[in-house]
Structure 1
Amino acid sequence: MKAVITGSSKGLGRAIARCFVKEGHDVAVTARNTTDLKELIDELKKLNASCKITGTTVDFEDVKSMENYCEIVKKEFGAIDILINNVGIYNEDVVGQNIDQNLKKNLEVNTFSAIRMSNAFLPSLKMKSSSHIITIVSIAALNPRIDAVSYSISKAALKCYTDIQRESLRKYGVKVVGIYPGAMNTSSWDGQDVTTKLMIQPEDVSKSILQIIQMSENATVEELVINTNKPLFNEQ
């Protein structure tokens, strides 16, 4: 199968790309800069030289940059089977602050990018008898964080769109899956007083996604919540 994975150079996106390539799937990846992109593609080719791997640098706040990436993928891959909307940003703000700029940035990357990517590849996804749009939402869409107002709003909006998208595309055989991870061991936690070994690991989520796409044509997972099992923050 052919998969597009956004935000692939680090953390969860990288784990998904590695997992897919190990299983023999072709992947189109993204990175923020050429150094990260080359490192990622080299690693994936070493894992499985028989897979087709393509990618470009993408600025997901720039519509033209996204459109360029989509055109490259369509030219090299043709129709795809799986779109994984993974790219996202996280920052903290609270009620009472001016969140205008934070909110715009979070909506642009966390919400609008998934909508734009889905629209770009929807014609080819609808051509397949069974295809997937898998969107990495966040547990914050279900339980908003009071210290991350803009992030929580953007993820709640993403959940809403994912739910609408699922029902809209069901008749075409496009399976729309919302993944809701809790605290995951990625670089976004650097510098914070948390125990990363108690967190969800990116591989926990990537393996779950692999199981989802391997289900029979008439079965799907609509939503998947993956949370931590133990307290993370050290008591003061």
Structure 2
Amino acid sequence: MKHILITGSTDGIGKLLALRLAKEGHFVAIHGRSETKLAATLKEIKEQSNNENILGFLADFSDLKAVKKMVKEVAEKMPKIDVLVNNAGILTTNSKTASTDIRFMVNYFAPYVLTNGLLPSIKTSEAPRIVNLSSAAQSTINIQALEGKTSLGANEAYAQSKLALTMWSFYLAEQEPSITVVAVNPGSLLNTKMANEAYGQFWSPAEKGADLLYDLAVSEAFESVGGAYFDNDKGTERGDFAEAHPDAYNGSKIDELIAVTKMLLLG
């Protein structure tokens, strides 16, 4: 039995993954930003899996204070984390944050803060894994946009936030060689709420992404693939490891991203 935390798991591929893992008897923690939806998903997964070892954590990832509060709650209830799947993400939104674009907040800063806060729990695992949900959409980061000094369109902010997550994934893999850290494009336009709200269409079933996340999370075949990028758009049935955006391999750009990130989070 593994102890697994999946963010953004009240619908879409996160929920499918949580249910599959729960049915196999793992200790599964889900996360959502809607109290009602979180409670309903918890009940549903427990009933369908006949597994009571299911926890729920509530946090709005556009609010880093809420993320930090969640870190404390998770650390108390999960002193050991074998697998962390940073699945929560956002593309379209009606809400506005005070400065930094909400896509940078939810897709990059929130998983950065959550993961670093939970490293002590992750390091208690014999073979820990961190799976970060990137995207086929990756675009060179505008540092001024990251700092909240200039605005971007929704798609561009999304692509930049996903590249930031990928660059940080590679950095974390180097800093923590005992942890298998993987960035993954789970598949473009899967049949999920986010894709349907943004584009009104889908190319592949959500299960395509959930099945890949399952393998990256618990399959022995992916035990030692840290610091890599998996692209599920490659091929028809299952993707393969591939090259991410060139900036993800640029040491000076990664160093700049991490330095600015640390500065902003301390500010």
Residue 113 of structure 2: which of 116, 121, 124 is its match? 116
Using a 3 Å threshold, how does the CA distance of structure 1 residues 218 and 190 change in structure 2: closer, same or farther?
A: closer
Measure the CA separation in 2 of the matches of 1:123 and 1:91. 33
Residue 208 of structure 1: which of 197, 205, 212 is its match? 212
Q: How many equivalent residue pairs? A: 219
Measure the CA separation in 2 of the matches of 1:156 and 1:131. 23
Using a 3 Å threshold, how does the CA distance of structure 1 residues 217 and 42 change in structure 2: closer, same or farther?
A: same
Q: CA deviation at 1:167?
A: 1.7
1:211-230 alignment, distance < 5 Å: 211-212=215-216, 213-215=218-220, 219-220=224-225, 222-227=228-233
Using a 3 Å threshold, how does the CA distance of structure 1 residues 36 and 156 change in structure 2: closer, same or farther?
A: same
Contact 1:182/1:228, CA 8 A, preserved across alignment: no
Q: Which secondary structure does the structure 1 equivalent of 2:60 belong to?
A: coil
Contact 1:7/1:86, CA 8 A, preserved across alignment: yes
Measure the CA separation in 1 of the matches of 2:47 and 2:38. 14
Q: Which secondary structure does the structure 1 equivalent of 2:113 belong to?
A: helix
Q: Which structure 1 residue ranges, 5 or more long, are not aligned?
A: 93-98, 231-236
Deviations 1:164-219 (A, max 9, x none): 1112211xx210011113221112233676543xx232221222222232216853
The corresponding residue for 1:65 is: 66
Q: Which amino acid aligns with 2:168?
A: Y
Q: Which amino acid aligns with 1:118?
A: T
- Scaled by the length of structure 2, the TM-score of the pair is 0.73
Q: Which amino acid aligns with 2:18?
A: A
Using a 3 Å threshold, how does the CA distance of structure 1 residues 100 and 228 change in structure 2: closer, same or farther?
A: farther
Using a 3 Å threshold, how does the CA distance of structure 1 residues 138 and 102 change in structure 2: closer, same or farther?
A: farther
Q: Which structure 2 residue ranges, 5 or more long, are not aligned?
A: 142-152, 237-267
- Scaled by the length of structure 1, the TM-score of the pair is 0.82
Q: CA deviation at 1:128?
A: 2.2
1:86-125 alignment, distance < 5 Å: 86-91=87-92, 104-125=101-122
Q: Which secondary structure does the structure 2 equivalent of 1:3 belong to?
A: strand
Are 2:51 and 1:45 aligned?
no
Using a 3 Å threshold, how does the CA distance of structure 1 residues 36 and 191 change in structure 2: closer, same or farther?
A: closer
* Stretches (4+) displaced over 6 A: 99-102
Measure the CA separation in 1 of the matches of 2:172 and 2:39. 33
Identity of aligned residues (%): 25
Deviations 1:36-92 (A, max 9, x none): 011100111012233411113211122221122222222222211111111111039
Measure the CA separation in 1 of the matches of 2:39 and 2:97. 35
The CA RMSD over aligned residues, in Å, is 2.8
The corresponding residue for 2:165 is: 158
Contact 1:166/1:176, CA 8 A, preserved across alignment: yes
Deviations 1:105-157 (A, max 9, x none): 1111110011111101111222322110100011102799x971111111111
Q: Which amino acid aligns with 1:174?
A: I
